[in-house]
Amino acid sequence: MTAALSPRSLAEALRWFGDEPSSKLVAGCTDLMVADTLRRSEMPRVIDLLSVPGLADVHDTGAFLEMGATATFAALGQNAVIRQCFPALSDAARAVGGWQIQARATIGGNIANASPAGDSPPVLLALDATVVAASTAGEREIPYDQFHVAYRKTALRPGELVRAVRLPWPVPGSRQAFRKVGTRAAQAISKIAVAMSVRIEAGRIVEARIGAGSVAATPIRLRAAETAAIANAVSEALATAVGKAAASEVRPIDDVRSTAEYRSFALERVARRLVLELGGLS
């Protein structure tokens, strides 16, 4: 028997979750209903976050764009402000599954589920996101690059949930892009996914953040590739160096979707191409 709880406020959700931190939190269920097909009926206590009013809101807080945890990829992909200011996120939202999955899957679920192959994590890394974690003790901010601590493990504490994700507004001169490599454009879990954000001043990269998925046990920042990019003028040679640095700092695995060898190769090429694109050389 499963106890099904549909909280009518965030406070109620936090109280119920705090009372029983082993409760299963659910939102779009697009991963949970697959993964747990055989164990669905054995979940003792399920808390449905879709019933919490306002938890899907997307709004401007001044310093940030704040996306509520249950905002769906359909909502994010159609959002005009996101399209304009965060095109990498908009592209990633439209690359998740197909229409049916985008209508249900949520940004909070995508990161709390903590798959290394999710589509939004590389973008959130590249865009310097912050997770707003909430519990009955209050809220705290977790820099997104510290959120994924090990394979399928997050920095959330027992009884703590993802309330929202914040993105700082882009500064002048910054550009961003997202690229996913999969078997087909829709409905394919990524072989690799890469997001890149750079700020270019007078032809020189002065700031760079690169996030990647499916190349390690967690979504990761490619720090060596970022270092290779920063303080240099955009050129073919620089793009090649960034690609090589990216490929050399990851240890991907062989699995059903791809091989370690292909993933390293594709990452090198995609990182190279993104530098050229964002640098205006292609």
Partner 1 sequence: MNIECTVNGRSVSLAGEPMDRLLDLLRWQLSLTGTKEGCGEGECGACTVLMDGAPVVSCLVPLMQCAGRSIETVEGVAMGPQREFLERFVALGGVQCGACTPGVVVTACALLRSNPKPTREEAARALAGNLCRCTGYEGILRAVCDEEPRP
Integer angstrom CA distances of residue 86 from 5, 63, 65, 239:
35, 14, 10, 23
Q: If you search the block for the tokens 């903590």, which residue do you land on? A: 114
Residue span binding partner 1 (CB under 8 A) among the ranges 79-87, 91-99, 165-173, 245-253: 91-99
Instruction: Report the residue number, 96 or 123, with the smaller CB distance to partner 1.
Output: 96
What's the min distance (Å) between Cβ of 100 and partner 1? Answer: 5
Q: Which of 21, 54, 98, 280 binds partner 1 (CB under 8 A)?
A: 98
What's the min distance (Å) between Cβ of 4 and partner 1? Answer: 3
Hey, which residues between 205 and 244 contact partner 1 (CB under 8 A)? none
Q: Which of 15, 83, 104, 273 binds partner 1 (CB under 8 A)?
A: 104
3-state secondary structure 47-86: EEHHHCCCCCCEEECCCEEEEECCCEHHHHHHCHHHHHHC
The amino acid present at 3, given as its one-letter code, is A
43 binds partner 1 (CB under 8 A): yes
**DSSP-derived secondary structure letter, 281:** -
Residue pair 48/5 in contact (Cβ under 8 Å)? The answer is yes
What's the min distance (Å) between Cβ of 187 and partner 1? Answer: 6
Pairing of strands 24-26, 45-48: parallel
Q: Which residues bind partner 1 (CB under 8 A)?
A: 1-4, 6, 26, 29-30, 33-34, 37, 40-41, 43, 46, 48, 50, 74, 97-101, 103-104, 185-187
